[in-house]
Structure 1
């Protein structure tokens, strides 16, 4: 097997998505995913704790989000800081070459309740990571929670729009964040 080839995690995710589409999530095994990717089962478990996690990127998004918040300009307010982080994620994770994979991934998630549950848990973890990162910047706890919740909603809206369009994720995220921020002020 070609264990030395680069991008093992991406190859595993692509193989898993293909198999989930072909034979269903429930009927796909970790061994089949690893074999389809040209890797071993132990390599799979080096990257992912279980087959549910293979479509969720490990901790990559969380790390990018935390880095983006930390790298925001010093004078940025909480919502602007979140916007900065979402734009950074767009540059790194939501590139045009990932759009087709992401659309296929969403279809697989929609078809399997176990994967939708994992997605919801990941969203909660990302929101908590935003809160923590904002608080480390000195944002008061309640303000950090509100900004993080707005950011999470904007992320979800931007992701749905990004899959359907050729637009830049960062621009879509900033626009969605502005929209949800304005809508919350009208509530």
Structure 2
């Protein structure tokens, strides 16, 4: 097995998702993942504490980018405008590999209660990052929490559209979704 090959993390994620889709999350072992990726178990554990963490790879970076975009929004930006800046900044993390894993990730999550729970926790984390960044901008906590949740909805809808369409610009999809949610909120 190769030891120090480039893109080991990416290869592990892709191998795991393929196996999760083929045989289910519960039936997939770390040994099978590393074998499929052509890597060692020690390489796996250098990158991930366990197989659940494969699904939240990049969450910290994504949360950081969302928060940075919100923090750097103009002082005159309202909460949802700042969230829009966060979504644009987060698009930096949305490359071709992230787009490629989308359909596999969707199938794997749909087939596993444990992965559904982990995915829900990821959403909570993203909302918390946006809410904290908005509160740091002196947005009242309730408003910040609502804007953060809307931001997560826009991110998820934008991600789904981005994965399913030929248009490669994640930010355009996320901003379009945010605009739809902003318009819908007027009728609440």
Is the pair's TM-score, using the shorter chain for normalization, greater than 0.5? yes
The Cα shift of 1:44 comes to 1.8
The Cα shift of 1:17 comes to 1.0
Q: Is structure 2 residue 54 aligned with structure 1 residue 51?
A: no
TM-score for both structures, normalised by structure 1: 0.90
C-alpha separation in 2, matches of 1:117 and 1:57: 15
The Cα shift of 1:97 comes to 4.7
What does residue 61 of structure 1 align with? 62
Question: Which stretch shifts more, 114-123 or 138-147?
Answer: 138-147
Report the 3-state secondary structure (helix = DSSP H, G, I; strand = E; otherwise coil) of the residue aligned with 1:135: helix
What does residue 72 of structure 2 align with? 71
The Cα shift of 1:43 comes to 2.5
C-alpha separation in 1, matches of 2:41 and 2:57: 17
The Cα shift of 1:72 comes to 2.5
Closer, same or farther in 2 for the Cα pair 1:42/1:62, shift >3 Å? farther
Q: Is structure 2 residue 135 aligned with structure 1 residue 135?
A: yes
- Unmatched tracts of structure 1, length 5 or more: none
Q: Is structure 2 residue 177 aligned with structure 1 residue 176?
A: yes
User: For each residue in 1:83-139, what CA deviation from the matched residue of structure 2 results, as whole angstroms up to 9, or x when unmatched?
Assistant: 11112222322x345323211211111121211111011101110111111112222
CA contact under 8 A between 1:96 and 1:166: conserved in structure 2? no
Structure 2 matches for 1:1-187, cutoff 5 A?
Answer: 1-58=1-58, 59-93=60-94, 95-167=95-167, 168-187=169-188
The Cα shift of 1:49 comes to 2.4
- Unmatched tracts of structure 2, length 5 or more: none
Q: What RMSD over aligned residues (CA atoms) do the two structures have, in Å?
A: 1.8
Question: Which stretch shifts more, 173-182 or 30-39?
Answer: 30-39
Q: How many residues align?
A: 186
